[in-house]
Structure 1
Amino acid sequence: MALEKYREKRSEEKTPEPFGGKPSGKELRFVVQKHDASHLHYDFRLEMDGVLKSWAVPKGPSLDPNIKRLAMMVEDHPYDYRDFEGIIPKGQYGGGTVIVWDEGTYEPSEPVEGDLKKQEENLLHQLHAGKLKIKLNGKKLKGEFALVKAYGRGENSWLLMKLEDKYATTRDITLKDKSVISKKTIVQMEKSPDKVYGKPNVKKESRLKDKTTEKKNDSRTH
């Protein structure tokens, strides 16, 4: 699906969020971003058909097969969004702080004969049928999960649940609250957003040194 809805809601001049990117074609990626906007939630995203199919999960993923989490399907996001963390400016759509809570590769739970394209076709078929069974290979989330359309709860309502396997546990995985990229919590990222998509990772001290050097160079030339 094209990214019209995503682009309609955002301006490249006003937000550091990515607007493009192409998959490697070697593996299928997933990402879970913790997002402190008007309400704290987790964005669960699966690479499919060149974009990231996305769901907002208010309470975050659970590793307990007895717990079903509400997951609201939202607009497709560009592939490069999987690496985005930092701050979306206030007043912009989704304004708030974002960290990459988990990321990795994924595949259909049931083996699919053929190449990566065949896997994607299988996953898209499952998505349109309203029931996705996938295997995650992340840093925090591992094993089999299901995304099931919650008929009767609204057009975009789904349920995210862990399936029984060796990774299932009643332990609260959301207590592991740091980014797998920057190792920062949401609070730490908000206070020191020095790792922001599209901007060089330059700390304030470095900027001050650069400005001092510039002034000295200017004085020499005048």
Structure 2
Amino acid sequence: MQDNEKRLGPYRSKRDFRESPEPRGKGSSGWRQKGNPLFVIQHHDASSEHFDFRLEIDGTLTSWAVPKGPSTDPAEKRLAVRVEDHPLDYADFEGVIPPGRYGAGTVLVWDAGPYRNLKQDEKGNSLSMRESLEKGQIEVWLEGRKLRGGYALIHSRMGGREENWLLVKMDDEGADARRKPTHTEPESVLSGRTLDQIADEEDP
């Protein structure tokens, strides 16, 4: 628990919860299934529009900002910029962060569900998610409503930046170069709304 509080320090220090509707981080998530860690992908219409790819690891959501969003084409490598850990209940957050606040803009829950850790060492032994994160090579199987199958996150340090990773679809039955789900399936899996509808209904 102390480690979780430490990991959430940067998240809390960047936000004024008297002004932002974002969760402070005191609860769990409605997406969480017993025995299974969760993933969530949120579409964030901020100053730079992007998708936030989040994996539950040891009690917090380890997070990456993916400017072009996830792909279902294994040939496409998407930049994923590591950002601060978020609390588990952020997986249920959908709404509008007010202008002038950190991350100002509309947030939509684009996909969510349980995931499985696929990563093994050279001897075939399972690696924990924390070990995979520290080694810079993550492989997970997503069971979402829009995305299913394997995805890899690779710590590339592109451009000499420590926070830069790559998000790549693994070549399995969930791969489909023709699909463009971030464009053709824009609605929230939580509320069925679009970004514009959320902004119209919840803009402070």
TM range (shorter): 0.7 to 0.9
- Output the CA distance in 2 between the equivalents of 1:4 and 1:172: 36
Name the counterpart of 1:174.
182
- Specify which of 145, 149, 162 is matched with residue 155 of structure 1: 162
CA-CA distance at 1:60 after TM superposition: 0.2
When the two structures are aligned, how many residues end up with a matched partner? 189
1:126 and 2:135 correspond: no
Q: Distance in 2 between matches of 1:37 and 1:143?
A: 28
Deviation at 1:151, TM superposition (A): 2.9
Match of 1:116 in 2: none
State the alpha-carbon separation in 1 of the partners of residues 16 and 83 from structure 2: 18
Larger Rg: 1
TM-score computed with the length of structure 1 as normaliser:
0.80
Mind listing any 5+ residue stretches in structure 2 that lack a counterpart? none
Aligned position for 1:5: 10
Task: Name the amino acid aligned to 2:131.
Answer: H
Q: Which shows bigger deviation, 182-191 or 155-164?
A: 182-191
- Alignment match, 2:22: 17
How far off is 1:22 after superposition? 4.0
**CA-to-aligned-CA distance 1:108-160 (integer Å, 9 cap, x gap):** 12589xxxxxx8x7111010000000000000110000000013431000000
User: RMSD of the alignment, in Å?
Assistant: 2.1
Corresponding letter in the other structure for 1:15: S
Which structure shows the bigger proportion of residues in helix conformation?
1
Shift of 1:193: 2.4
Going from structure 1 to structure 2, the CA distance change for 1:132 and 1:9 (only over 3 Å counts) comes to same
CA offsets per residue over residues 66-87 of structure 1, 9 Å max, x none?
A: 0000000000001100000000
Give the 5 Å matches for 1:22-33: 22=28, 26-33=35-42
CA distance in 1, matches of 2:153, 2:17: 31
1:53 and 1:77 in contact (8 A); partners too: yes
Amino acid at match of 1:79: L
- Return the alpha-carbon distance in structure 2 between the equivalents of residues 52 and 152 of structure 1: 23
**What is the rounded CA distance, in whole Å, between the counterparts of 1:152 and 1:168 in structure 2?**
25
The code of the aligned residue for 1:137 comes to E
- Larger mean CA deviation between 180-189 and 58-67 belongs to 180-189
- Show the counterpart of 1:146: 152
Partner Cα distance (2:119, 2:75) in 1: 22
Write the distance in 1 (CA, Å) between the matches of 2:19 and 2:155.
34
State whether residues 158 and 165 of structure 2, in contact with CA within 8 Å, keep that contact through their aligned partners in structure 1.
Answer: no
CA contact (8 A) 1:22 1:50 kept: no
Runs of 4+ with deviation above 6 angstroms = none
What is the letter of the counterpart of residue 156 of structure 1? E
Gapped regions of structure 1 (runs ≥ 5):
113-118, 197-222
Identity, in percent, stands at: 47
In the other structure, the counterpart of 2:193 is 184
Q: In structure 2, how many angstroms separate the alpha carbons of the residues matched to 1:152 and 1:44?
A: 18
Give how far 1:26 is off.
2.4
**1:102 and 2:111 correspond:** yes
Q: Deviations over 1:185-213 (max 9, x none)?
A: 1111111129x9xxxxxxxxxxxxxxxxx
Structure 1 position 73 matched with structure 2 position 73: no
